[in-house]
Amino acid sequence: MHSQDRVDSRKDATEQVQAAQRRAREGLPFSDDADFGDAARGFLGTREGARITSSNGRVVWSLEPYDFLSEEAAPATVHPSLWRQARLNMHHGLFEVTRGVYQVRGFDIANMTLVEGETGVIVIDALTSIEGARAAMELYFEHRGRRPVVALMFTHTHSDHWGGGRGVCSPELLDSGKVAIIAPDLFMEHAVSENVIAGPAMLRRAQFQFGPLLDKGPRGHVDCGLGKSMAMGAASLVAPTDLVKSTGERRSIDGIEFQFQMAPNSEAPAEMHIFLAGYRVLNLAENATRTFHNLLPFRGADVRDALAWSRYIDEALSMWGAEADVLIGQHHWPVWGAESIQRHLRQQRDLYKFVHDQTVRLMNHGYTASEIAEELRLPPSLENVWHARGYYGHLRHNVKAIYQKYLGWYDANPANLDPLPPAHAGRKFIEYMGGADSVLAHARRDFENGEFRFVAQALSHLVFADPANAEGRALLADTFEQLGYLAESAAWRNAYLLGAQELRRGMAPIPPRPAIPKDTLAALRTEQIWDMLGVRVRPELAIGKTIVMNWRVSDRDETFILTLDNCALTCLAGARAPDADASYSLLRRTLDDVVFRGTGLADAIASGAVEASGRTESFEDVLALLDEFPRMFEVVEPRRKVRTSQANVESQRPGN
């Protein structure tokens, strides 16, 4: 499809959407513009357009495509509250938080915080990309003078806070051990595990959350809520040398005292807060930002604990609320002044607690997740607070996350216990509704009336029943688009607009996934490698096969029994099978190369890198059973290529 066709396929906001945007402008406190002053406060300098390139000239980050956000008034195709947030997230460069504490903002979705010590600088969080971190450091040195990096801290386990670690200073210096690398307990386990097993699915789903494939503009991508977007550069995981394990721990680094509070299972499974008593700066990482955060991101993750989240904020308020002059986070802009800080923390605390408690209250009355989302509203004291708005998370999907955490996916209605999958259900729904023409006639009428939510449901059935129905696809795309224009949450907008784009253009031709970076691969526990192989076993190829192998990872003093039986690959650590089909001994890096880098096992045995006995081709037999996961798969229409050994869903017997 030609670019002009792509532009023409996108529509303007309907009259109903325009009216809804007007109501939002009238109902929210747009006269409160203090955030704009705070977002600009302390500005020292930046790079033109925040443009960052790789060594070969590829642009890995730039705010230049978002110049359209210079307009103060929101167009009808963007929720006015989201437009406001998107404009605030355009502030970029080096900012002075207070004398001795600085932040680089707008060079990535996250912030880098820099704390000056007696002889050097302590860096808190390293952004997503090595290129971005390097650019942030050079900007800091330009304005504050070149000084050595004496420590690097990671507040939590998400990659937009550690991916740029090797850009903070030279790899040689990091590897020398002279730079302390400090992180919360269990950092390495969670940094690599949260999206290892389900990584391929998460990466595809993340496209709908962050919208990287959308055109930038008032009818496309405007923001991600937490920041503008995700950087597209190189990333590398640097292992911590010092773990903070309990609330109240302190570290004296280059003459600066750091006090810590643990906040596990809040925004990340391993997360910590930091108080700089000498600077009177409180850093709550990602737990009290300028938005209602995600309790379950669209990409997928373990459900986050809203109750614990609220308690951590309350604990921080109790510990340091009276001492802090500045509150910072690793996204967005600071809060200055004790009174403002305490109010901000109370509101954030109560936001998570209110939504948790009221979801559980209604749940205990028998309401389902969708019913609670439809029923629940924030009290006015929170609803009209900008930082409690759902730019990234959202009340309606956070409610469903809380429900899922306590009760799971099933709403107890037997009709929903074993529903047909979308394509099968779609065909039956369309048949029951009188056929495609009848559905389209009703959908066109409801679309004109602005009933977009139900139109999307009905037409999704039509597209799954008949993905070649051009009129159904087009109208569903138009419907998703209007829902995207209405969305205050950037994640919702991105999801709707990417759905519309894929219905119109098809999936983007994304190249195959790059190899796992060696640093990240080395950070995996060996058990995780076996688990990753296990989820790739194709049962139709493994039927009737039994293979038992002993493995010894010599440099880690690890032993495992790896067993393929009943079409499942299992691992038992610290053991050895006397009757194994084969035994292997190798270094961990050799195992990584054999499993992920394409090094042939036979070649590794021949070279002496692997010591093997028994039927040495046993592991190659296992590798031959493994599935390959696609980079892209259909989301808003039926999947065209699915490997499965199961019979047709209609023929499955009850009780299976």
The amino acid present at 625, given as its one-letter code, is L
Q: Which residues pair with 560 in a beta bridge?
A: 551, 573
Tokens at residue 637, please? 């229409």
Q: Which residue has the tokens 């990091």?
A: 174
Q: Report the alpha-carbon angle 97-100-104, nearest 5.
A: 50
Domains, in order of start, for the chain: 36-386 (3.60.15.30), 419-505 (1.25.40.880), 519-623 (3.30.1050.10)
pLDDT value of position 520:
78
- How many Å apart are CA 374 and CA 390, to the nearest integer? 15
Nearest to 367 by CA among 421, 406, 310: 406
Question: Strand, coil or helix: what is 444?
Answer: helix
C-alpha 215: how far from chain center: 20
pLDDT value of position 596:
87
- Mark the ranges of the chain whose per-residue pLDDT is less than 70: 1-8, 641-656
- How many Å apart are CA 474 and CA 10, to the nearest integer? 10
- How many Å apart are CA 401 and CA 409, to the nearest integer? 10
Question: Strand, coil or helix: what is 241?
Answer: coil
In angstroms and rounded to an integer, the radius of gyration of the C-alpha atoms of the chain is 26
Instruction: Specify the DSSP class assigned to residue 447.
Output: H
- Per-residue b/e over 593-627, b at no fewer than 16 CB within 10 Å? bbbeeebebeebbeeebbebeeebbbbebbeebbe
- How many Å apart are CA 141 and CA 121, to the nearest integer? 10
Nearest to 97 by CA among 311, 270, 351, 274: 274
Contact indicator for 599, 533 with CB cutoff of 8 Å: no
C-alpha 464: how far from chain center: 27
Enter the pTM of the model: 0.94
- How many Å apart are CA 157 and CA 286, to the nearest integer? 11
Instruction: Specify the DSSP class assigned to residue 144.
Output: H
Dihedral angle over CA of 608, 613, 619, 621, nearest 10: 120
Q: pLDDT tens digits for 228-255?
A: 999 999 998 899 999 999 999 999 999 9
Q: Which residues pair with 183 in a beta bridge?
A: 243
Nearest to 262 by CA among 207, 329, 185, 327: 185
Distances (CA, A) of 92 to 29, 47, 53, 227, 491: 25, 8, 16, 11, 21
- How many Å apart are CA 264 and CA 305, to the nearest integer? 9
Contact indicator for 382, 351 with CB cutoff of 8 Å: yes
